[in-house]
Amino acid sequence: MADSTERRARDTIHAGGEWRAAVSGATREILDPADALPFAVVAEGDEKDTDLAVAAARRAFDAGPWPHTPVAERAALLRRVADLLVRDRETLGLLESRDAGKTVEEGRVDIDCVADAFRYFADLVAGEAPGRVVDAGSPDIHSVVVHEPVGVCAMITPWNYPLLQASWKIAPALAAGNTFVIKPSEITPLTTVALIELLTEAGLPTGVANIVTGPGHTVGARLAEHPDVDLVSFTGGLASGTKVAQAAAPSVKKVALELGGKNPNVVFADACATEEGFDTAVDQALNAAFIHSGQVCSAGARLIVEESVRDRFVTELARRAGRIRLGRGTADGVECGPLVSEQQRAKVEAYVESALKEGAVLRSGGKRPAPCAERPEAGYFYEPTVLDRCHREMRVVREEVFGPVLTVETFRTEDEAVTLANDTEYGLAGAVWTADAGRARRVAGRLRHGTVWINDFHPYLPQAEWGGFGRSGVGRELGPAGLAEYRETKHVYQNLAPRPVRWFAG
């Protein structure tokens, strides 16, 4: 990673090619969620810092070279960034672990996925045709549809996958020729700061990449409303996303929102007919619900299992959930880290308490674990929790918990399974488990979710669009549609033999 020792730790705002502190001088301590101890200090930017960063991005777009840089050169820079990410994989993976609380292995996988995203968009833009020719019906007319960068892009990213979510925005924006200002979560900003350093090291022109570390109510709000921002891309919760859309509306800027999910994992009895099938379905249900302590927008937090196998399935699921090894993400053998903050743990505890009051049956977890060497008492740990006998009227079933909590519902027929799975205001992702290929296709086709996995959970492909239905957001990330989000379309019509029209006398 580029040497950061030349600047002070709190100089984490990058605008117009310079690293600096906040205009106000304010700072924020970054806490390790495993022990609640500070391990970094960053600048606490506000509206003034945001205006400076947007002005730098505006100058770089209007008068700088990047929007007009040949596609091959832009693609080559993205590939250099991918190589630098591979070079710094261990350092960045460890930093992501300490910042977000996930295990180091999860952090390493995240860095691999980030590098893949940069390579994918480099290959995509480099392999495109220069424009789409439109037949105008005359040899004297040359008509072509071309794509141009949107302009200045504002990016607001969440705390659960800091670098991965940043890459899903930055890579296509740069591939398309845009400039940007990014605001990472104030809780987990460190790897995004590191990525800006790598972009500079790779040779990105001054002013193209800008970052303001600071809270959403100041930095994020100003980015969403700023008149010199042409597009705002937000990933996060429904309430905040609604505010972003409202702030962007008066200037009619392009808006991309990737919001929450309450994702069903539907298990039919025939998927469990063999011991191998049963074991795989249980294992994947654990993975769906508890990876990164359930702090995943696509987490399979709703298990919807066929009634005939429900008792056996939930008993085994709860047994295995109770054996998940909790601890500091950097410790050997740890399978699940802490929640990101005390506020997030309190939210999870409130959801579990309300579920039990509403009649849910606790099968595992439901409390803070006993402290130990790899699990300090001050850390934000919470046991993987399985809540049985749940129903649609419960808050824990309807609302996004964003923690290690799995609810269990049951069904008897295929129609009932589909109805339960679609009975949500969200529509981000879902899965169906069955040994019947025809049923798999039928159910997948009827599920109103942006991504549907069959006999799997959580994989994504950089070349496939990612987005949701309903209140899970608008816009798409990844794939060709992800690149299209950061482009405008222009029709160029050239008359090779112009003649007078003679519509008017004279």
Q: What positions carry a catalytic annotation? A: 258, 297
What strand order describes the sheet that includes 209-211? 18-20, 13-15, 209-211, 179-183, 152-156, 231-235, 254-258, 473-474
Whether residue 66 contacts residue 208, with contact meaning beta carbons closer than 8 Å, is answered with yes
In the block, residue with structure tokens 């500079």: 200
DSSP string, 345-382: HHHHHHHHHHHHHTT-EEEE--SPPPPBTTB-TTS---
Cα(316)–Cα(332) distance, integer angstroms: 25
β-bridge pairing 264-267 and 302-306: parallel
Cα(371)–Cα(348) distance, integer angstroms: 19
Cα(302)–Cα(263) distance, integer angstroms: 6
Cα(60)–Cα(57) distance, integer angstroms: 5
Alpha carbon of residue 272 to chain centroid: 32
Measuring CA to CA, which residue among 124, 323, 74, 92 is closest to residue 196? Answer: 92
Tell me the backbone φ, ψ of residue 491, rounded to 5 degrees.
Answer: -100, 120
Residues forming beta bridges with residue 153, ordered by sequence position: 180, 231
Tell me the backbone φ, ψ of residue 20, rounded to 5 degrees.
Answer: -155, 170
In three-state secondary structure terms, 18 is strand
Whether residue 289 contacts residue 317, with contact meaning beta carbons closer than 8 Å, is answered with no
Rg of the chain taking only CA atoms, in angstroms: 24
Whether residue 157 contacts residue 169, with contact meaning beta carbons closer than 8 Å, is answered with yes
Tokens, residue 470 = 């309903």
Residue 252, number of CB atoms within 10 A of its CB:
7
Residues forming beta bridges with residue 351, ordered by sequence position: none
Measuring CA to CA, which residue among 13, 80, 67 is closest to residue 179? Answer: 67
Residue 145, number of CB atoms within 10 A of its CB:
13
Tokens, residue 486 = 């950061």
Whether residue 40 contacts residue 190, with contact meaning beta carbons closer than 8 Å, is answered with yes
Residues forming beta bridges with residue 248, ordered by sequence position: none
